[in-house]
Amino acid sequence: MQIAVSSQNRKTITEHAGKCRKFWIYKIDKGEISDKRLLELPMEQTLHASHHQLPGPLAAISVLISGSIGAGLHHRLMQAGIQPIITMEESPDMAVAAYLEGRLDRLPIDHRHQCHGHGHTLSCGTNRR
């Protein structure tokens, strides 16, 4: 299993997964982290830019953890069999550890809030960190 965590600044979990270009990719074996690497996507491969399919480097993930995920992207991820998770946790390592232990605090998707006509929710790209 692989877990992706949006981290544009490489230090904290960042918002707006659709426009994020940097993700920590955690490889999970037998319920534990076995590898962690930074994935940097070109602008044209962001989740926002690739409306109809997931970018190749993210196609193998099982979970995406972010500070915000728009309703449209949430739906696309679910259709692809990827569990989208929104959290207020700031540390990528702590979020993944908490997820694996079944104790990661999650925020709901606000399907009523639309942003820029693209179906984004929550902060619509503002950075709370």
Tell me what the pLDDT averaged over the chain comes to.
Answer: 85
- The pTM score is 0.84
pLDDT score for 51: 72
Distance CA 58, CA 75 (A): 16
Question: Rounded to a whole number, what is the distance in angstroms from the first to the last CA of the chain?
Answer: 28
For residue 6, list its beta bridge partners.
23
Query: What proportion of the chain, given as a percentage, has pLDDT over 70?
Result: 84
Domains and CATH numbers, the chain: 2-100 (3.30.420.130)
Q: How many CB atoms lie within 10 A of CB 68?
A: 28
Q: Please list, in sequence order, all residues whose beta carbon lies within 8 angstroms of the beta carbon of residue 111, skipping any fewer than 6 positions away.
A: 71, 121
Question: What 3-state class would DSSP assign to 60?
Answer: coil
Strand positions, DSSP E, 11-50: 22-29, 32-40
